[in-house]
């Protein structure tokens, strides 16, 4: 059969709206996927007519013909961002109970609340996760004790965690024990680890914006992302890598590193707040 008619198994599961390619790779590695009754190796390609199952459940290709679903959800504390409905009873999929198969883009850990996207479009997941400087995520964070005068500066300049140093970011103190932070990366439990390094414990963490989409729905509720919002997301994702490359080239020519921006409110970071 011609090579162009073959599809990698992880791409097939993604395009069928079952899960993201990354999640598909995990399922394959765990031996939970079969092709015509046989457990495949990573990277195996399938042909039209092949029978693909996950945990014994047949994955129908008809889903590909339906319009993709894009949802903004205000996740409550205690809900886990996983599609594994068998192993995690407090999962995001059962909580929303959407009539079509969807999966989350990225993660928001169990003790945190706020905005997260869900979709049936595997391609947009990969695009958003690959995006760099234009994939902003904004949070309001409370900690267990008053912030010291140097907290904002240290957080915004980068903190050594997980064998790396976090990127420079925008940070603004909004209360005695509260601050606002805008990240363009998604390390595991990043904000909690950053605060812990400086001697603080996060008591509340709420994501209030992803890219151009604000958190504007009650906790536990969801809405469809609008066509206008999707158009802007697509623009941000498609221009992100080009913008980043141009910025790096400019800095190399200058021989300087990006510096933080200070405002009247005492905030600092690589960029001021974007209006949502």
Residue 199, Cβ density class (10 Å: 0-12 exposed, 13-18 middle, ≥19 buried): exposed
Contact status, residue 6 vs residue 12, Cβ threshold 8 Å: no
Phi and psi (nearest 5°) for 174? -120, 0
Strands (DSSP E) found in 106-150: 113-119, 137-143
Q: Directed axis angle between helix 227-254 and helix 122-130, to 10°?
A: 30
What 8-state DSSP symbol labels residue 158?
A: -
> Strand 113-119 relative to strand 70-75: parallel, antiparallel, unpaired?
antiparallel
Q: Output the CA angle 246-234-132, nearest 5 degrees.
A: 40
- Token match 């964070």: residue? 141
In the annotation, is 55 catalytic? no
Burial of 7: CB neighbours in 10 Å, binned 0-12, 13-18, 19+: middle
Catalytic-labelled residue, pool 29, 55, 84, 109:
109
The C-alpha atoms of residue 14 and residue 21 are separated, in whole angstroms, by 6
Catalytic residue numbers, as ranges: 109
């Amino acid at each position: 059969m011609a090579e162009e008619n073959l599809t990698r198994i992880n791409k097939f599961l993604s395009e069928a709206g079952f899960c993201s390619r990354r999640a598909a790779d995990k399922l394959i590695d765990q031996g939970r996927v079969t092709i015509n009754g046989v457990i495949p190796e990573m990277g195996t390609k399938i042909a039209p007519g092949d029978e693909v199952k996950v945990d014994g459940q047949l994955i129908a290709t008809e889903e590909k013909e339906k319009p993709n679903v894009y949802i903004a959800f205000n996740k409550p504390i205690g809900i886990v961002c996983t599609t594994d409905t068998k192993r995690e009873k407090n999962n995001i999929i059962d909580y929303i109970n959407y009539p079509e198969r969807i999966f989350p883009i990225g993660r928001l850990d169990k003790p945190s609340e706020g905005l997260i996207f869900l979709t049936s479009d595997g391609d947009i997941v990969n695009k958003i996760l690959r995006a760099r400087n234009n994939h902003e995520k904004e949070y309001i964070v409370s900690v267990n004790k008053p912030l010291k005068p140097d907290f904002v500066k240290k957080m915004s300049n980068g903190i050594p965690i997980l064998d790396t140093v976090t990127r420079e970011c925008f940070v603004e103190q909004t209360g005695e024990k509260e601050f606002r932070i805008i990240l363009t990366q998604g390390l595991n439990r990043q904000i909690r680890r950053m605060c812990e390094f400086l001697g603080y414990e996060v008591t509340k963490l709420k994501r209030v914006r992803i890219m151009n989409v604000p958190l504007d729905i009650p906790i536990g509720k969801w809405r469809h992302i609008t066509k206008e919002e999707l158009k802007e997301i697509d623009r941000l994702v498609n221009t992100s890598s080009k913008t980043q490359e141009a910025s790096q080239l400019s800095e190399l020519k200058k021989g300087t590193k990006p510096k933080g921006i200070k405002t009247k409110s005492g905030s600092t970071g690589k960029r001021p707040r974007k209006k949502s």
